[in-house]
Structure 1
Amino acid sequence: MERNAARRRRRVLLGHCLRATGSVALLTALYFLAPLEGGFGVLTVLTLVLGMLAFSLLTAWQVNAITRSEYPRLSALEAMATAVPLFLVVFSATYFMLSESIPATFNEPLDRTDALYFTVTVFATVGFGDIAAMTGTGRVLVTIQMIADLIVVGVIAKALFGAMKIGIRRRGGRGNAGPPFVDDEDDEEP
């Protein structure tokens, strides 16, 4: 019986890891394969808005799924592994299209890799300085990303991990908490 439970936990862990890895790979592939060469315009703004809407809906759906999950910790980590790359890809695509349309927006033209690199450096708040927004439009867009970054890191992460705690409590605390390395004692309020 205990052997079957351990085997099941490994399968569940593997499933969560594979889905998270698959999500990142799929989003990255879509970013590099999507036809984004149209330049910056109404379609770009619409893409950004729809991308942020998709991100919001995905996050809301994931919060609900985490609270009902048998393994809420793993579900929360999987949710972050899906939501954050989606967020980054949406901004990367926008920066790429803006650079294509108005090359002077950044201090150098951005290809897709450069746009993704720039997005991640802004998200991580390291800002290496090798790529910088040079126009008002670029700076406004980067400012919007910085504000959205704070929301993602603060509010969304708190919502996902709050949902995880609800899921753990719903299951009755430690019972069937998941893989052996998952310790629910950390979830106790001080």
Structure 2
Amino acid sequence: MDATDPTPDGTPPAAAAAPRQERRERRGRAALVVALRCLATITVLVSAYFLLPFTRRDVDVRDLVVGLSAVTAVFALQIRSIARSAHPRLRAIEALTTTMPLFLLMYAATYFVIEETTPGSFSESLTRTDALYFTLTVFSTVGFGDIVARTEPARVLVMTQMVVNVLAVGVATRILFGAVEAAVRRQTSGTRDPG
């Protein structure tokens, strides 16, 4: 087949390639926008973690429940937006870069406040960076052992993070993939422009 021969549907090759090229360009622009929004979201969340004053003198389980509820609500909104998105895979990446940092920073802030409120809750005094480091080692299951929870409330908090980590990695990931698959199926069935 020559470059000037029409495609099987009779469209000249250049005309058939133009819509594909346009779709690739739209996807590329969408990926750039998502990457910039992800970077902005992570920057805002990390900046807020390091700049907001965490001065509460009393931390209780209600704070953790409220925080986890907020993360769950954000996640639910993200799932809804994936289902409606023209680019569900990109939207899922964006959902992860919103929800996971929020979840991890919430635990880091809680560890920081507990150590500030009850010194000695951990094997060493925690700065915000130390609390974030500890949160990430618990999340990644690395567990270097350089920082450990010493008091019962701190250990209970670490155990809740471990359980929620398993749920976040297992259940939440499955829900994300399911939302993406459903959106892609809807697009390929013709209810939305796959662009």
- Structure 1 and Structure 2 fold alike (TM over 0.5): yes
Is 1:126–2:127 an aligned residue pair?
no
| Pick aligned residue for 2:25 from 1, 4, 7 | 7
Aligned counterparts of 2:187 and 2:194: Cα–Cα separation in 1: 8
- Residue 93 of structure 2 aligns with an amino acid whose one-letter code is L
What residue in structure 1 maps to residue 170 of structure 2? 154
| Pick aligned residue for 1:32 from 50, 55, 61 | 50
Q: 2:104 touches 2:136 (CA, 8 Å); kept in 1?
A: yes
SS of residue paired to 2:57: coil
Which range moves more in the overlay, 4-13 or 103-112?
A: 4-13
What residue in structure 2 maps to residue 103 of structure 1? 119
What residue in structure 1 maps to residue 159 of structure 2? 143
Shift of 1:155: 0.7
SS of residue paired to 2:126: coil
Aligned pair in 2 of structure 1 residues 56, 176: CA closer, same or farther (>3 Å)? Answer: same
Aligned counterparts of 2:159 and 2:87: Cα–Cα separation in 1: 36
Which range moves more in the overlay, 66-75 or 106-115?
A: 66-75
Aligned counterparts of 1:27 and 1:173: Cα–Cα separation in 2: 38
Q: 2:112 touches 2:126 (CA, 8 Å); kept in 1?
A: yes
Shift of 1:131: 0.4
Which runs of 5 or more structure 2 residues have no equivalent in the other structure? 1-17
What residue in structure 1 maps to residue 97 of structure 2? 81
Q: 1:40 touches 1:102 (CA, 8 Å); kept in 2?
A: no
What residue in structure 1 maps to residue 181 of structure 2? 165
Shift of 1:51: 1.6
Aligned pair in 2 of structure 1 residues 7, 50: CA closer, same or farther (>3 Å)? Answer: same
CA root-mean-square deviation? 1.8
Report the number of matched residues: 176
Q: 2:46 touches 2:105 (CA, 8 Å); kept in 1?
A: yes
Aligned pair in 2 of structure 1 residues 99, 14: CA closer, same or farther (>3 Å)? Answer: same
Instruction: Please give the per-residue CA displacement for 1:44-82, whole angstroms capped at 9, x wherever unaligned.
Output: x44322221110001111111111111111111110111
Which runs of 5 or more structure 1 residues have no equivalent in the other structure? 179-190
Q: Which of structures 1 and 2 has the larger relative contact order (alpha carbons within 8 angstroms, sep 6+)? A: 1
Instruction: Please give the per-residue CA displacement for 1:22-62, whole angstroms capped at 9, x wherever unaligned.
Output: 111111011011110333424xx443222211100011111
- Residue 128 of structure 2 aligns with an amino acid whose one-letter code is R
- Residue 97 of structure 1 aligns with an amino acid whose one-letter code is V
